[in-house]
Amino acid sequence: MEKGQISVQTENIFPIIKKFLYSDQEIFLRELVSNAVDASSKLQTLTSKGEFKGEIGDLIIDIHLDEKNKTLTISDRGIGMSESEVKKYLNQVAFSSAEDFLKKYKDDANIIGHFGLGFYSAFMVADKVEVVTKSYKKSAKSVRWICDGDPQYEIGAGDRKDRGTDIILHISEDSEEFLDKARIQTLLDKYCKFLPVQIRFGTKTETEWQGEGEDRTSIETEVDNFINNTNPIWKKKPAKLKEEDYKAFYNELYPYSQPPLFWIHLNIDFPFNLTGILYFPKLNNSIEVQKNKIQLYSNQVYVTDNVSEIVPEFLTLLHGVIDSPDIPLNVSRSYLQADSNVKKITSYITKKVAEKLGKLFKKDREAYQEKWSEIGTFVKYGMISEEKFNDKAIKFALVKNLEDQYFTMEEYKEKIKATQTDKHDKVICLYTTNPSEHHSYIQSAKNYGYDVLLFDHVIDNHFMQHLEQKGGDVTFVRVDSDTPDNLVQKDETKESVLSEKEQEKVKTLFTESLGENSGHLELKALSPTDHPVVITKPEFMRRMKEMQSMQGMDMGMMPESHNVVVNTNHPLIAERLMKMKGADKKASFVKYLYDLARLNQNMLKGEDMSKFIQRSLEFVG
């Protein structure tokens, strides 16, 4: 038995590998199975080139767990290694300088390098590693290599009869979680689900039901437990796929999920290689729970589901798979490196998504509009966060009014500009966040011939501001932000039925009766059909407060602000209040009208609500 020492420049290289090479111990299984896949693929390549003329047979990679002997074995029937190859590939750690490695990366899990180190991940979980291998070459003999986690190794004759490699991990005491069958199954499902060579992990029991009712019986059969789909649909040509194929694959990725709305098949080979399928999920008015559902692969090897480096933030709402050998990864494959290809890939995916949405909009607008409640959040998010996407999306982004009509912003401005343009030539878009809560305000706006949009999603506050900034000629105002006669700020004014002296009396009554609650008090000559007292909340102040709340900031930083508008043309003001006798009676009536306005704004709560109900009972009693 020959003995030697692995050629590294420090005794400490194995502890460093064990602790710092990878960010997560479980990566070892992906690396070792990936190596087995590579060995199998190389044999297929040699066969196709005529350099190997033997029988390939089945190239299944077997994973064997021996809980009693505390070993985990990865076996392949690939090209194998000769003794000289074992010495070359296993006895020389793939660092150009171990000293530089220690200096640069000892305290950094994000090691940048090439994939020459995959095999050494075995030492993160094993205190001894055996490799038994036999080269595909006719004259080759089986070789056994043993290393117990330091630079000392042994190499000698092996007992393998056919070509390929067995890697036997003697699992260390602190890594015995990897002797659990369910744990290994989970890791294989996660990392090896779409590798291009079949992987088998023992057997599994399948149950088949026969008969019906009381005669129904089950038959259990032991079958091979194959892990992976070796030819996933993202590797196939779109022309050969049907709608059912895409939906079935989505269900394979996300079992028990609602079917996707539609999808994009990515396929590009210049200036970089990239394939994949991105699905538009049903968002169900939620954003955060939908993120991190895109899986990143490199040559069908699972890398991560954190794709924020290559996919713009808004696209992380999509689901699916991206596979590219050109994505620059560090040695652990867990982190992306800064690279010009990353920016190109990001731009490409953004462009393809925008093109897909644009085509859907043009091809079948009605179907697109039916999906808008689901994809609207996604499109708005993209417009706000990505300039290039915004430039394209403005042509297919929609707004919806309370009559369930959909418009692009250009279409909508054209629709309302005649009646909703102010003296500064700005188009005023009225909106509601809650039609039932704002019902009376909406009716007042409609009485003036105005149209009202529905903006009821958490992202709409940001979206409105974005459109205002980008458009320049449009402003959004909630229907309860001002009285309807003043929403478009025209110079037209109605005359009050009250004289100036009578108006002063009304103002004094409200000021004295309401005290500090009067806020910003204003008398206006509205229509007699408008409410006697209207409370409005200034658009700017309310938006700022909502932004604070969304960002988790202290609501107390910005005081509650509202205006109290008294309609001097309403009969309850112009006639009933003016004819009332007794200061107390007038004050009580003023407070009652004010509380009615507060009730309309959902501002009347607790003790104030109880008092209002009591006064109401007294009025009708």
Domain of 580, CATH number, reads 1.20.120.790
Q: Is residue 216 part of a domain?
A: no
What DSSP line would sit under 277-330, residue for residue? Answer: EEEE---TT-SGGG-SEEEEEETTEEEES--TTTS-GGGGGSEEEEE-TTS-B-
* pLDDT exceeds 50 at position 99: no
| Percentage of the residues of the chain whose pLDDT score is greater than 70 | 84
pLDDT in tens, 585-603: 888 888 888 888 888 877 8
Q: Is residue 221 part of a domain?
A: no
Label residue 107 by pLDDT band (50, 70, 90): very low
Q: Which helix (H) or strand (E) holds 272?
A: none
Confidence at residue 68, expressed as pLDDT on a 0 to 100 scale: 95
Cα 39 to Cα 117: distance, rounded to the nearest angstrom? 15
User: Average pLDDT, stretch 267-296?
Assistant: 78
Label residue 46 by pLDDT band (50, 70, 90): confident
User: Average pLDDT, stretch 418-439?
Assistant: 89
Determine contact, residues 577/506, Cβ cutoff 8 Å: yes
Same domain membership, residue 280 and residue 243: yes
The backbone torsions φ and ψ at residue 602, rounded to the nearest 5 degrees and listed phi first, read 60, 35
Confidence at residue 531, expressed as pLDDT on a 0 to 100 scale: 87
Determine contact, residues 433/456, Cβ cutoff 8 Å: yes
506 lies in which domain range? 500-537+558-620
Greater confidence, 163 or 148? 163
Q: Is residue 381 part of a domain?
A: no
Tokens, residue 419: 């009646």
DSSP 236: S
The alpha carbon of 528 is separated from its chain's Cα centroid by a whole number of angstroms, namely 51
Q: Is residue 218 part of a domain?
A: no
Same domain membership, residue 519 and residue 437: no
Q: Is residue 514 part of a domain?
A: yes
The domain boundary, picked from 324, 344, 367, lies at: 367
Same domain membership, residue 116 and residue 31: yes
Same domain membership, residue 430 and residue 354: no
Half-sphere exposure of 288 (CA within 13 A, CB side): 1
Same domain membership, residue 161 and residue 107: yes
- Please name the amino acid found at residue 108: D
Q: Is residue 308 part of a domain?
A: yes
Same domain membership, residue 60 and residue 17: yes
Confidence at residue 100, expressed as pLDDT on a 0 to 100 scale: 41
CATH at residue 250: 3.30.230.80
Same domain membership, residue 481 and residue 602: no
Label residue 154 by pLDDT band (50, 70, 90): very high
The domain boundary, picked from 317, 345, 367, lies at: 367
Same domain membership, residue 514 and residue 480: no
Greater confidence, 331 or 465? 465
Same domain membership, residue 138 and residue 37: yes
The domain boundary, picked from 319, 349, 367, lies at: 367
Same domain membership, residue 38 and residue 11: yes
Spatial neighbors of 444 by CB under 8 A, at least 6 apart, are 479, 483, 484, 530, 531
What DSSP line would sit under 160-225, residue for residue? Answer: --SSEEEEEEEE-GGGGGGG-HHHHHHHHHHHSTT-SS-EEEEEEEEEEEESSGGG-EEEEEEEEE
How many domains does the chain fold into? 4
Same domain membership, residue 346 and residue 445: no
Q: Is residue 207 part of a domain?
A: no
Residue 12: other Cβ atoms inside 10 A:
14
* pLDDT exceeds 80 at position 156: yes
Q: Is residue 418 part of a domain?
A: yes
- Please name the amino acid found at residue 63: I
Label residue 311 by pLDDT band (50, 70, 90): confident
pLDDT in tens, 476-529: 999 988 777 666 655 455 788 888 898 888 888 888 888 876 678 888 888 888
CATH at residue 481: 3.40.50.11260
Confidence at residue 72, expressed as pLDDT on a 0 to 100 scale: 98
Cα 197 to Cα 40: distance, rounded to the nearest angstrom? 7
Where b means 16+ CB within 10 Å and e means fewer, 534-571 reads bbbbbbeebbebeeeeeeeeeeeebeeebbbbbbbbbe
Same domain membership, residue 83 and residue 42: yes
Least Cα distance to 327 among 383, 410, 266 occurs for: 266
